[in-house]
Amino acid sequence: MAVTYADLVAFGFAYVEDNVSANLKKQRLSNKKIPTPRLSSEDMCVCEEEDFIIFAEFSEVKGPVALFTVPSYIQHDEKTDVNSFIMRIMSVDYQANPGGHFCICQDTQTLQTHVSQTRHAYVHYFTLYDLHARGFVRPLCVAYVCSNIQKLSKIFPELRDQFLQLTETIKVNNRQHFRNEILTVLSSMKNMKFSSNDPAIKELSDEDLADITSNMSIHQENSSQQYEEFSFMLKAVEASLENVDYSISAVDHWHKAFTFCDETPGPKEIQGYLNLISSTSYRRQVNLHDNICMLEKQLRPIPVLSPWGIACALSLLLKMLHHFGHCELSATLGCFPSISISQSDSETSNRDTLSSTNAWEAILKPEYLQLLQAISVGAVDASMPSLDDQECDQVEGSSLKEATSGNEGSSSYHSFSDSPVDAVLKPQTDQRNYRTSSIQGSTDSSSDNNVGPNQQSGVFHDSFHTIAGDSVSPSQSECREDFHSILDGGSTPNCISEDTLINSHENGVQYSSKSSSSTSSESFHDILDALHSDDNWSIDSDEETLPLGVAWNHCLWTRHKLTRKSGHRLLKFFWTFRTAAQHVIYSILTGRTLVLTGDSSSERRVQRVMSALSPLIPPLDDSGLRVLRWHQGILVSAHIASYQLIGMCIPERLSIHDMISPRDKNSVTILDVNTESLLGPAYHGHLLAPIGDNVRDFPSDHSLLLFMESVLNGIGSKLQSYKALVAACQNELPSHACRQLNIHGCDADIIRYLSKLTF
């Protein structure tokens, strides 16, 4: 809330939460009677309603019932009525039951629009076999629910493939289980045949057998028919278990992992699950509920029918939601874009990693364990006609939601509001609080906080030890932070917003490039000053390591700040270094090492510029960017050779010329973050021409990053032509190719450098 509010005000909007309509667009191009609902820039993105997955059973006792949802809190969410939803997708039997013979049905898949008002669903129906169930079948479905029909339709083919694999594992494990049960029943029937009048046999048979046959009502008279029938079923099931080696190995893998966890003291959720699927617990449950209502039929929970298949499926579902759940209106940003044509390879490899699951990794993930717990509760709930667990379950669910839904902005805000200073300042606008929290960065490690492999941590640690002595205690820093924000707050975001507000009132247009040029650059300096002043605090905390070139994916139809994402503050970079920016990018794209210099108090500032620029730096290989985050001392050629980006401390009373040899100085580009002076080659050409003064008109880092990617893709297209031309006429010099494509001077440098890299 604080996030949205602050940003809205900053860009000249009144806060209009209620105006934001959740009524979203359904494309209806063709039907001219109903015009396309109008889009408004104030609308929320479709992804505001998050995707989720429902796993439901058509219980012969209770009708359609949800076993669990992914993420698990959805089931207890009041906004999404899961029950009415599954009523709609499960009220009709979608499995085409050929009737007659016992046969192994194939899965049915449907894509249904408007299942509820705004939700659409891909629903996958399948059947598990259970000797105790009516017709021996337990109809189930697993549905991917999404608010964006366009996206759902697009991912549908892939979704279908994934779900087919998912249910295959469940079904294979179920059939193994079913086969074993039939075998037991058959052997018991054999026994009954031979000693029909001897009741002692029944007592002699082991407990497990009694459990299975107790509900079967095997009559003496028609046992021969039943025997035939069971052997027929056995044949069918065994036939279906051929050629499914992949699924069988997956089942074994999960079996091993879980039994290992059973032997060693594993997480309690796994214990709970193992408890659920063990036959003794089932019998206990039955006995327990026998007293309550004798008449209702009691079925085993679904996990009992396919214990390892379900365990595997849970992990796959989590992966799938993670893979497909992101908004369609987003692009992977934060790292140098792939500007050659090899996307198909990455897509296929992506698919492979999606389908394979690793039990050892999965059982350590809290979200997986949560699901496991949810299914342990839900399964019993579904099969047993009792509602004991309902209440505590709901409480649990809501608390879970609280824990998972916080994003970095709000979480830092929450943690902040606990501080005493804040309590005093409550009547002040929340927006200032927000400002402080954004500067401070999130205090807890959010899920987005990727600690990438490309952080040269070793080097960094060297430097921070030297400064660590200066740092203050966290509680102090919080107070100081707040104090700063109050001092600066008056002049920082408000002056922009007032200005633009006036403008927008005057002519209804916010597009006044003149207005913000002075004010916002000022305000930026204010912010920088604010940063500057708190440069020397809490450098020792891990959060201060800003990500460099780490990819992220965000919906672009939100006004979220990209706090702690690489590329954050790129816009500020263009504002501050307006004359130098294009030349800096030229240096980066020609592979020159960029040295960011500043005095000893400028480390944070250097870090931020690094983080802002990192998405534009082409990595030399897969290991990511080569960065020396903060160097104190003389810069030698070995540094320059091994790093693309160097942060450098210039001690007082010294200049950069004292720290680097003249020869090395010519091979690097040096940007002083305080004086904004640049030492390096100047750019003149066409490729980077789109990055001109217009860049400062971009409203956010996000849009600017997207634009920069488009520029890089444009270069990529040129690069592709160059490569193709060089390949086509091998005898000719590369310079000839450049001339043919009308690439000259600085542009040729960029193309030649990038062509040497392999992306």
Judged by beta carbon, residue 40 or residue 390, the one nearer another protein is 40
Residue 554, φ and ψ in degrees, nearest 5 = -135, 150
Which of the residues 130 through 169 are near another protein (CB under 8 A)? 134-137, 150, 153, 156-157, 160
Site size toward another protein (CB under 8 A) is 105
Q: Per-residue contact track with another protein, 677 to 696, x per CB under 8 A?
A: ------------xx-x-x--
Rule CB under 8 A: which of 190-219 touch another protein?
217
Choose the stretch contacting another protein; rule: CB under 8 A; options: 26-34, 404-412, 488-496, 542-550.
26-34
The H or E element containing residue 64 is strand 63-70
Question: Between 29 and 423, whose beta carbon lies closer to another protein?
Answer: 29
Min CB(732)–another protein separation in Å? 11
Tell me which stretch binds another protein (CB under 8 A): 19-27, 287-295, 411-419, 529-537: 19-27
- Residue 419 CA to residue 372 CA, distance in Å, equals 37
> Contact letters (x/-) for another protein, 734-753, by CB under 8 A?
------xxx-----------
Q: Minimal distance in Å, beta carbon 691 to another protein?
A: 8
Q: How far apart are CA 737 and CA 581, in angstroms?
A: 29
How far apart are alpha carbons 218 and 396 in whole angstroms?
A: 43
Scanning residues 70 to 99, which ones bind another protein (CB under 8 A)? 88, 91-92, 94-99
> What are the residues whose beta carbons fall under 8 Å from the beta carbon of 293, sequence distance 6 or more?
385
458 lines the binding site for another protein (CB under 8 A)? no
> Site for another protein (CB under 8 A): which residue of 14, 17, 78, 100?
100
Measured from the CB atom, the residue of 188 and 545 that comes closer to another protein is: 188
Enumerate the β-bridge partners of residue 140.
57, 126
**Interface positions, 225-284, toward another protein (CB under 8 A):** 225-226, 228-229, 232
731 contacts another protein (rule: CB under 8 A) = no
482 makes contact with another protein (CB under 8 A):
no
What token pair was written down for 548?
């460099």
In the set 14, 17, 18, 32, which binds another protein (CB under 8 A)? 32
Q: Establish if 560 lies at the interface with another protein (CB under 8 A).
A: no
Does 31 help bind another protein (rule: CB under 8 A)? yes
Which residues 394-453 are close enough to bind another protein by CB under 8 A? none
Sign of CA dihedral 441, 444, 446, 451: positive
CB 128 within 8 A of CB 167: no
Helix 343-355 to helix 307-324 angle (10° resolution) is 150
The reply to whether 703 sits near another protein by the rule CB under 8 A is: yes
- Pick one of 48, 50, 328, 522: the residue that binds another protein (CB under 8 A): 328
Q: How far is it, in rounded angstroms, from Cα 26 to Cα 130?
A: 42
Nearer to another protein, 528 or 711 (CB): 711
Would you count residue 41 as binding another protein (CB under 8 A)?
yes
Secondary structure of 417-455 in HEC code, one letter for each residue: HCCHHHHHHCCCCHHHHHHHHHHHCCCCCCCCCCCCCCC
User: Closer CB to another protein, residue 396 or residue 747?
Assistant: 747
Phi first, then psi: give them for residue 736, nearest 5 degrees.
-65, -40
Q: How many CB atoms within 10 Å of residue 416?
A: 21
- Residue 716 touches another protein, criterion: CB under 8 A: yes
| Binding flag, residue 724, another protein (CB under 8 A) | yes
Give yes or no for residue 533 binding another protein (CB under 8 A).
no
Structure tokens at 750: 């960029």
Q: Is 95 exposed, middle or buried (0-12, 13-18, 19+ CB in 10 A)?
A: middle
Q: Which stretch binds another protein (CB under 8 A): 69-77, 274-282, 374-382, 717-725?
A: 717-725
733 binds another protein (CB under 8 A): no
Distance between CA atoms of 351 and 721, rounded to whole angstroms?
A: 30
The answer to whether 55 touches 380, Cβ cutoff 8 Å, is: no
